[in-house]
Structure 1
Amino acid sequence: MSISQADEVLAELEAPFYRAVGDEVEVFQAAARRGSPVLLKGPTGCGKTRFVETMAHGLGRELITAAGHEDMTSADLVGRFLLKGGETVWADGPLTRAVREGAIFYLDEVVEARQDTTVVIHPLADHRRELPIDRLGTTLRAAPGFQLVISYNPGYQSVLKSLKESTRQRFVAIELDFPPVDIETEVVTYEAGIPPETASALVKVGRAIRTLDGSPLREVASTRLLILAGGLVAEGLSLRSAVQSAVVQALSDDPDVVRALGELVDAVLPRA
């Protein structure tokens, strides 16, 4: 095997595992060629982060991520002055590093950050492709290859935390959801390292919880939770114990809800 062939094999082995459901890969690649920012919409644990990782790998771009939260300030994204060895030095934030290096910057759960913080991304998300750094008195032009990607869960966020129209209309939107049964089974099988029939049983549990009438749950059983449960099975735990720990108990602390979910699981899972 030549060096180039070995490099190709290594790159393939290191590629994140993702199975496309629709045309999301083609849409993202087209947006990347134009340098257009991308907004990912979808429920928690449906694969938004994995999708971005896969796209970055395929494009050969570095991926720099940050998670939105209510205490996030613009300095957390852009940077700040720090005291080092008696001297004041500037330290780039993750957004600034991505702009300088031409990387993909992924801001997860963007609406969890304060709106006055996320406004800093606006000049990067239109034709200007610029990042004003007020504390340095300069404006940084985005290097070739820079791309801005943000995500949020529209079904989970409250009205007070919805994405502003002035932000939304700067982005190409891609909606992701939990994959079809066959693809989700394949994903759980691969990620958890379990037999397909076990993964199929887990997916049936997930589907049953997602379609539960009058569900009191704020979040449903995500693909991520099913993979966690599958990982416990791979370590020798019984299927029911794994589901109870990684799915049922993770979804609620309410005793009545936990009991109802347990009964649902008993009805769905095959008898030992």
Structure 2
Amino acid sequence: MSANSHPTIVESRTEAPFYRPVDDEVEVFRAAARRGVPVLLKGPTGCGKTRFVEAMAHDVGRKLITVAGHEDMTSADLVGRFLLKGAETVWVDGPLTRAVREGAIFYLDEVVEARQDTTVVIHPLADHRRELPIDRLGTTLPAAPGFQLVVSYNPGYQSVLKNLKESTRQRFIAIELDFPPVDTEAEVVAHEARIDVETARTLVKIGHAIRNLDGSGLREVSSTRMLILAAELVGEGLSLRSATQAAIVQVLSDDHDVVRALGELVDALLP
């Protein structure tokens, strides 16, 4: 790996991940998985994109290899490189090459954070060729049965300079995910944090109120992930107000006026 580049690699989990469908995303993914069609997941930060992929990998019975995209990532970080091992130089597969060989699902999270000259390495895998050129070995590796590409990004957070190239985008089918309805999100928060549903519902109502604010100036809104963190604090004995202040209000902004306004909104919604 390059000196400053260490991709975060997460292997699949053995237990079935908890996921509640909102629309037809499960059916669309299953159909794509049967044909090996690449999938692009779009949605705000913390809405459950990664959990959805984990659940779908378990559902279709495939290994999942996840890499978090970042601006220092190189193609070698994905494909592999020669490394010194004792007195010998040996080739070490990168996570993408491993997924191609093993017929796993390869999930590149926040794909637009990676440099475009890096992400083009997935192009031959995302079309009819289904193969990975490994230039340093002078070979081309065909994808094993079961291999599938999945990438994700947050379209509302990207700038003009950080967006998917059309040549990349058009190789994928797209599934748009969003924050779930109140009842579904309350069930998720209660399950993940192991708290009662009514407390979870109060936190979700706070989350929805923040998401619906006009002209707040917030770069991000209260995600399901943040609500779960707040719920976990409640589960440890903190009051709802203290938990929401620590896990939501103070995290969303450093602007004192914004923090105060969010705090007042939370106070108005607390029982």
Aligned to 1:104: 105
Aligned to 1:121: 122
Question: C-alpha offsets along residues 231-253 of structure 1, whole Å, 9 cap, x if unaligned?
Answer: 11111111111100011111112
1:86: how far off? 2.1
1:260: how far off? 1.3
Question: C-alpha offsets along residues 98-147 of structure 1, whole Å, 9 cap, x if unaligned?
Answer: 00000000000000000000000000000000000001111000000000
Aligned to 1:178: 179
Say whether residues 1:220 and 2:208 are aligned partners: no
DSSP 3-state at the match of 2:161: helix
Quick one: distance in 2 between partners of 1:267 and 1:84?
A: 62
Quick one: distance in 2 between partners of 1:255 and 1:89?
A: 55
Aligned to 2:6: none
1:165: how far off? 0.6
Aligned to 2:43: 42
1:62: how far off? 0.5
AA paired with 1:176?
L
1:87: how far off? 1.4
Question: C-alpha offsets along residues 6-61 of structure 1, whole Å, 9 cap, x if unaligned?
Answer: xxxxxxx9210000000000000000000100000000000000000000001111
Aligned to 2:5: none
Say whether residues 1:75 and 2:76 are aligned partners: yes
Aligned to 2:135: 134
Q: What stretches of structure 1 move > 6 A for 4+ residues in a row?
A: none
Q: Which has the higher helix share?
A: 1
Aligned to 1:7: none
Query: Pairwise mapping of residues 24-39 of structure 1 onto structure 2 (< 5 A)?
Result: 24-39=25-40
8 Å Cα contact 2:37-2:148 kept in structure 1? yes
Quick one: distance in 1 between partners of 2:171 and 2:232?
A: 39
Aligned to 1:4: none
Please provide the CA RMSD for this pair. Answer: 0.9
Give the structure-1-normalised TM-score. 0.94
Quick one: distance in 2 between partners of 1:254 and 1:45?
A: 22
Long gaps (5+) in structure 2: 1-13
What is the number of residues matched between the two proteins? Answer: 258
Quick one: distance in 2 between partners of 1:215 and 1:86?
A: 60
Aligned to 1:188: 189
Quick one: distance in 1 between partners of 2:33 and 2:46?
A: 24
AA paired with 1:184?
E
Aligned to 1:261: 262
Aligned to 1:6: none
Question: C-alpha offsets along residues 218-266 of structure 1, whole Å, 9 cap, x if unaligned?
Answer: 0000001000100111111111111000111111122221111111111
Long gaps (5+) in structure 1: 1-12
DSSP 3-state at the match of 2:127: coil
Aligned to 2:199: 198
Aligned to 2:93: 92
1:83: how far off? 1.0
Report percent identity of matched pairs: 84
